[in-house]
Amino acid sequence: MVMALCSRHFLNSLKRTYYVSSRGLTMTTPNHQKLLEDIEKNPYYEKYSARIAALQKTSPEEFMQRVEQQQSTKEREKKTKFGSVDTRQFSSVLNPKSAIDKGAQAAEKKLDDIFKTELVMDKDASEIQSIWEEYHKNKEVLSATIPGDLYTIIQKNMKEYPTFLFPLPRSQGYEFIMCQSYGHTVHFTPLLAYQVHKENAPECLTTVHYTELKDKGIVLMRGEYDKNVLTAQEAQCLANQFQMYYSNKDTRKQLLLETFTKSPDTFKHMDLVSELENITLV
């Protein structure tokens, strides 16, 4: 699977407060007002402010319940060298058994919907890979050709670990993006957006694995991303991390998958950042 390695521009400190925004609301208690002030300090607030404002307008009570839930999480924060961070909040807020509701509702996409499969049935794997790459050459999407045996491993892990997190380098530090796997599709959603909108959170990247040609030894992947949220390089970074964690090629990454899913109380999100900072191509 050929992908360009994501950019490694990192800051010396990490500033994140994963809460929703408060503009336009009148609060009745000083505690609520303080919560909303903290929310607006979120470095990614502006990016999602319009969508957050919509929730405020349509469901103000639900909005405040979620704000208060985030405050309860914040009170459990632990001190680390990176600042005040709750090492449990990123796993405990996501229930792998229920987080894939949106994916479960989506019908699996077919290769024939975007590609004339019958035209390559007489081609071998290398020829199909070249055609697939040429087909996407001038399109603003991600594409890759994955060996069939490798995808068997990836899909097994997708089923066993359907929900996970990836750190995405930003100029402000890191933004965490959650992924949810269902079938042969992987949905990527900003953690902040998920905490506000739950299963209705908008996706920033969706990758689909097409298995129609697996008998030729390959699986074709195509990823479409929201250009208002991600650059092409950032989308590629997320796809790279997904491949590295779900391909069973690194025991440390495999352990993090297991810990996040099976022992969330011991999961430390900064381990993901450390893995990204020390990433190498094998």
Torsion angle of the four alpha carbons 174, 239, 1, 207, in this order, in degrees rounded to the nearest 10: 180
Task: Decide if 47 is inside a domain.
Answer: yes
* 210 assigned to some structural domain: yes
In a domain? residue 6 = no
pLDDT over 90 (residue 222): yes
The reply to whether 82 falls in a domain is: no
**Would you state the pLDDT for residue 192?**
86
| Residue 161: per-residue pLDDT | 96
191 plus 268 within the same structural domain: yes
**What is the C-alpha to C-alpha distance for residues 173 and 12, in angstroms, rounded to an integer?**
8
Model pLDDT, residue 202: 87
Residue 244 sits in the same domain as residue 209: yes
Confidence of residue 199 (pLDDT cuts 50, 70, 90): confident
Q: Number of structural domains, the chain?
A: 2
Q: Which residue has the higher pLDDT, 225 or 12?
A: 225
Here the contacts of 54-57 (C-beta below 8 Å, separation 24 or greater) are: 55/20, 55/196, 55/197, 56/21, 56/22, 56/23, 56/24, 56/25, 57/24
pLDDT(85) > 60: no
Could you tell me where the DSSP H helices lie in 15-88? Answer: 30-40, 45-58, 60-74
Render 48-69 in DSSP notation, one character per residue. Answer: HHHHHHHHHHH-HHHHHHHHHH
- Which of 33-37, 71-75, 153-157, 227-231 has the lowest average pLDDT? 71-75
Residue 65's domain comprises 30-75
CA distance 6 to 254: 20
Whether the pLDDT of residue 45 is over 90: the answer is: no
Averaged over 218-227, what is the pLDDT?
A: 96
**27 pLDDT exceeds 50?**
no
Chain center to CA of 162: 11
pLDDT for residue 219 is more than 90: yes
Q: Which of 35-49, 112-126, 169-183, 253-267 has the lowest average pLDDT? A: 35-49
In a domain, 174, yes or no: yes
CB 233 within 8 A of CB 7: yes
H helices of the chain, in order, are: 30-40, 45-58, 60-74, 89-92, 101-105, 125-135, 148-160, 191-197, 232-246, 251-262, 270-277
Q: Is the pLDDT of residue 8 over 80?
A: no
**CA 168 – CA 90 distance, rounded (Å):** 14
In this structure, the answer to whether residues 218 and 129 fall within a common structural domain is yes
Residue 5 lies in a domain: no
Pair 68, 58: CB distance under 8 Å? no
Residue at which a domain ends, from 75, 103, 138: 75
Query: Is 198 contained in some domain?
Result: yes
Upper half-sphere CA count for residue 110 (Cβ side, 13 Å): 4
3-class secondary-structure state, position 223: strand
Higher pLDDT, 80 or 230: 230
Q: Which is more confidently placed, 32 or 182?
A: 182
Query: Is the domain of 55 the same as that of 111?
Result: no
Average pLDDT over residues 154-161: 97
Say if residue 70 is in the same domain as residue 133: no
Per-chain mean pLDDT for the chain:
76
